[in-house]
A and B are shown apart, each in its own frame.
Chain A
């Protein structure tokens, strides 16, 4: 028999029991559909995060005092001597390829304007923060170095804070009370959006010396800078600059050789690497979920194909009597199983794509459907058809035509 005839015969057989065919493929439909939806949402989320990390800048280094991951020898985060203005200067002057360096201390703060209030994250930063973060203002301006050193009470606010406290009004020039201290708003930042589940725009930035004296609860040394953010020149290798920077800091902080750093340097490339490892785990989990649902679906297919072979024993006997070879019967039932699985896979695919589109429209979640997963879904359903259709098809092909013809 030719492939066209196999397909025609299989279609006739499947149409004979439309409801049963659909119910049989339900396992495959649900399996393929859920994998498509999950991967669309998962891929969408990771695509978005990648974009956001890119928006944070992949040419940045962040230095924290102390580190929690040295393995028990050291105390918790912040137990090491804090980073200071001197460290900042040492990096600015002693490390090649550094474009800008900014200190940044964080605390939470309550903002009050009239009878509106908003709790947000306060970032005390040196003036270079605008260069390091590549984060321009939408209106107004940043504070400058003079304003910073003279401890002026000026504030740059994020888009979310502006929206929550002032709505559509331009807040530049307004006075706002930050933890009961009046500050003048000099600028509003452009919106950056979500990153890692956190609203990047829910932030206010004040000059670091002002914040240190007025808003930070605990300052261990007078010139503490919290974290140091470093922007590296694009033409320099990030890893080289990092090594150089670590050497300078070790010298400045007088760390003996063979003693671990009492500071930690992070870059976004590391974070990306961690993310892709997480993604691999997630992908593996997804794949095993898909494998299990396809296995269950496949068993369903095998079950129905066995029933179908039994029901059609007489037909098989007749076909053999009029000249069908074993291979013809095998091919016929195998085609039927594969067609059933492929149809299930395609329905599941369509359903999954539909749900993904609806989800992205209703919840405005980012979804991304990779062509690879679509192809994989189709191939996997066909493979399930061959795998689980083989046993029933082989059983059919080995029937004795005399007994099959006599079967009631």
Chain B
């Protein structure tokens, strides 16, 4: 565990010389090479890159689903390489709110129960899981749909349930993997606006996407190609530049 300076200054994500190598038979595949960056509290970062660029690998590392081959990835100052499998699970539970492209809600389970799911794995257990889940569903504008099962909700509503689920444990960051990939344009915009308003309330959001239009809603852009971080810039002015 590393700790630098006062807690307020500890970045949510600190990657130093991050490298991930997979062994495919004889051949070593370098999914990530020597990537370094920091993400501070309250940022809204889009990670972009074509398929095979290593952005999924990077996302898995940021989500504490995987550990680096070399280099260091600290989440809230904790080096994930030092954690056991169960400690990683605990870290994911408390620190990271996942939002997936396919929503990944439990079928035949009400919105409320879906949102409560992460709390069943929390230690210590929250005193009133129902109240927490209700509050998060209200936050994403689904106060009238709490008892609906996913099959009775639209795609946008399902993704809102997923976002409420990500919020329920008051995580340090929301990690969204192509959150609008399965949604139409209008609904995508609703979800992106929801992210923006959450970010405005102080939530750190990291969003992986391959669409520039989607990335443009973030504040900062990390571009990955061939396992390397090739661009790190503010989003401001991005669309105008790419149009030219």
Contacts and interface: CB of A to CB of B under 8 A. Distances in A.
Contact of A327 (B65, B66, B86, B107): B86
Interface residues of B, number: 25
Contacts of B85: 325-326
B60 A1 contact: no
A320 interface: yes
B165 A322 contact: yes
Contacts of A315: 106
Interface in A302-347: 314-315, 317-328
Contacts of B151: none
Nearest to B168: A322
Interface residues of A, number: 21
A273 interface: no
Given A323-B93, A401-B65, A402-B66, A1 B120 contact: yes
B90 interface: yes
Contacts, number: 56
Contact of B109 (A12, A317, A325, A328): A12
A317 B92 CA distance: 13
Interface string B111-130: 00000011011100000000
A405 interface: yes
A16 B122 CA distance: 26
B193 interface: no
B165 A323 contact: no
B157 to A, nearest CB: 18
A168 interface: no
Contacts of B165: 322
B94 interface: yes
Main secondary structure on A side of the interface with B: helix
A155 to B, nearest CB: 80
B100 interface: yes
Contacts of A319: 117, 121
A270 interface: no
A344 B240 CA distance: 66
B65 A16 contact: no
A241 to B, nearest CB: 74
Given A1-B121, A16-B107, 6 more contacts: A16-B108, A318-B106, A319-B121, A322-B118, A323-B94, A324-B121
12 contacts: A12-B108, A315-B106, A317-B104, A318-B104, A321-B92, A323-B90, A323-B118, A325-B89, A401-B65, A405-B65, A405-B100, A405-B104
A-B residue pairs, 10 tightest by C-beta: A323-B93, A323-B121, A322-B118, A325-B86, A318-B104, A325-B89, A324-B121, A321-B98, A402-B65, A401-B65
